[in-house]
Amino acid sequence: MPGPGSSGEQQAQARFGTADRAAAFYDHQVLASLNQPMREFIARMEMMYIATADAHGHCDCSFRAGAPGFVQVLDDKTLAYPEYRGNGVLASVGNILENPRIGMIFLDYYQTTIGLHVNGTARVTDPQDITALPNVTPGMTEAAHNKGGRQPKAWIVVGVEEAYIHCSKHVPLLARRDKQIVWGTDDERLKGGNFFKVTP
pLDDT digits (tens, 9 = 90+) for 115-151: 999 999 999 999 999 988 989 988 888 887 788 778 9
Asked if residue 81 belongs to a domain, the reply is: yes
Average pLDDT over residues 71-91: 96
Q: Can you give the pLDDT at residue 1?
A: 39
C-alpha to C-alpha distance for 65 and 68, rounded to whole angstroms: 9
Asked if residue 16 belongs to a domain, the reply is: no
Average pLDDT, the chain: 94
> What share of the chain in percent tops pLDDT 90?
80
C-alpha to C-alpha distance for 105 and 119, rounded to whole angstroms: 9
Question: Cα–chain-centroid distance for residue 22?
Answer: 24
Asked if residue 129 belongs to a domain, the reply is: yes
- pTM of this prediction? 0.93
Q: Which residues are registered as beta bridge partners of 82?
A: 155
Residue 100: count of CB within 10 angstroms of its CB: 15
Quickly state the pLDDT bin for 109 (edges 50, 70, 90).
Answer: very high
Asked if residue 5 belongs to a domain, the reply is: no
Domain ranges, residue 100: 30-173
C-alpha to C-alpha distance for 49 and 42, rounded to whole angstroms: 12
Asked if residue 4 belongs to a domain, the reply is: no
Q: How many domains does the chain fold into?
A: 1
Residue 47: count of CB within 10 angstroms of its CB: 16
Asked if residue 117 belongs to a domain, the reply is: yes
Asked if residue 184 belongs to a domain, the reply is: no
Quickly state the pLDDT bin for 2 (edges 50, 70, 90).
Answer: low
More confident: 81 or 150: 81
Here the CATH number for the domain that contains residue 130 is 2.30.110.10
Asked if residue 12 belongs to a domain, the reply is: no
Q: Can you give the pLDDT at residue 183?
A: 86
Q: Can you give the pLDDT at residue 146?
A: 84
